[in-house]
Amino acid sequence: MAESGYLTGIAGCGRIGSLYDEQGNGSGVYTHAGMYAATDGLRLACLSDPDSTRLAESGRYWGCAELFPDVATMLAQCPVDILSVTTPDQTHETVIRSALGAARPPRIILVEKPLAENAAAAEALLQDATAAGVTLLVNYVRRWDRMHRKVREFLRSGGLGEIRWVTGYYVRGMRHNGCHLVNLMRFMVGDMERLEPLGARETGSLPGDSSVHARVVFSSGAEGVLVALDQPGYAFSIFDLDFFGTKGRLRLTADGSRAEIHPVRKDPRFPGFNTLNPEPTVLASTYETAMLEAGKGLLGMLNNPEERRDNDGTEAVKDLAIIEHLLKMWPTI
């Protein structure tokens, strides 16, 4: 470890790479740059972006002087222990391959979802990273978040009884955001047996990536649906989940940052019937610190190479394989 911490670099200085925190109100950390700047033991050493203006603005904000037009040049001159890949979806594979080909590849590559444009490419990247001794992670940030992990523990321990139904709401593409929703459903409930399309195909607000309604069947027997709320066009962001079990209902709302638990109770008006308590137990949001938890997790993996996280590349490959099976139910994507 360098005297001032392990060295980190970022490929892509856009929104999730840097800009959200540059333009934010200071109430949390929501970017890779913010995470590295705020985590003791990690140091933001270098940045790359083909947009020279955006690169300069990001470097100035974070006090980072090592700025490069592309990741290959950056890693040749500024080798790092962790590389974040926060470039557009269609460039992830190229950027990761460039990093794997560096004279000294990063020990960890943390990429924004999706890992690649398809499952075969994602699987090949995972195999090549493993062969190079590089840990490949996908930043499914809710898996780092303390509140989401508490919800998972609650559901998996039977707090909601037998899970019967799950509804998920998302926008902006089955591959782009849908993979995150599929991942979170699997994280909370367990493996999916199948995902089946419902309704039209060529819909949504993200060109080249349809937002699809889908029926879900979990290996546990639970069922559910994915609802794409931008099928007619984008109106607002949403990333919510609604779980129904034999002991009540749990809602992850406010883009997943608030959990409301409505337990079953005896209906006070109609004897012999049960109802859901309208006054929920609320779990406080910890989403503003999720990226900081990610930073701690990454630091732990560098300090202990045997430590592994459940958001590694294997999970991302499974997500893309599930989604591809769904999309292939139509003649063309």
Looking at residue 52, which CATH number applies to its domain? 3.40.50.720
pLDDT of residue 270: 95
Q: Using an 8 Å Cβ cutoff, are 21 and 92 in contact?
A: no
Phi, psi at 163, each rounded to 5°: -70, 125
Domain end marker among 270, 285, 300: 285
Same structural domain, 93 and 174: no
CA distance 273 to 165: 20
Q: Are residues 20 and 129 in the same domain?
A: yes
- Whether residues 156 and 195 fall in one domain: yes
Alpha-carbon Rg for the chain in angstroms: 21
- Domain membership of residue 324 (yes or no) is no
Residues of the chain with pLDDT under 50: 332-333
321 in any annotated domain? no
**Same-domain pairing of 27 and 40:** yes
pLDDT tens for 196-223 read: 989 877 788 998 898 999 999 999 999 9
In a domain? residue 185: yes
Give the contacts of 101 (CB within 8 A, at least 6 positions apart).
Answer: 72
The reply to whether 87 and 167 lie within a common domain is no
- On whether both 193 and 245 belong to a single domain, the answer is yes
Same domain, 118 and 183: no
In a domain, 326, yes or no: no
Tens-digit pLDDT profile for residues 66-123 = 999 999 999 999 999 999 999 999 999 999 999 999 999 999 999 999 999 999 999 9
Which residue range is the domain that position 225 belongs to? 146-285
Residue 323 lies in a domain: no
Q: Are residues 119 and 176 in the same domain?
A: no
Kindly state whether residue 318 falls inside one of the protein's structural domains.
no
* 163 and 225 together in one domain: yes
80 and 175 both lie in a single domain:
no
Supply the CATH number for residue 211's domain.
3.30.360.10
Q: Are residues 259 and 181 located together in one domain of the fold? A: yes
pLDDT score of 220: 95
Structure token pair of residue 211: 């937002």
- Report helix, strand or coil for 61: helix
Residue 322 covered by a domain: no
What pLDDT, on a 0 to 100 scale, did the predictor assign at position 1? 53
Which is nearest to 81 in space by CA: 171, 166, 9, 142?
9
Residue 319 counted as domain residue:
no
- pLDDT reported for residue 2: 52
Amino acid 150: pLDDT? 97
For the four alpha carbons of 210, 211, 215 and 218, in that order, the dihedral sign comes to positive
pLDDT at 333: 39
pTM, whole model, 2 decimals? 0.94
Number of domains, the chain: 2
Q: Assess whether 113 and 158 both reside in one domain.
A: no
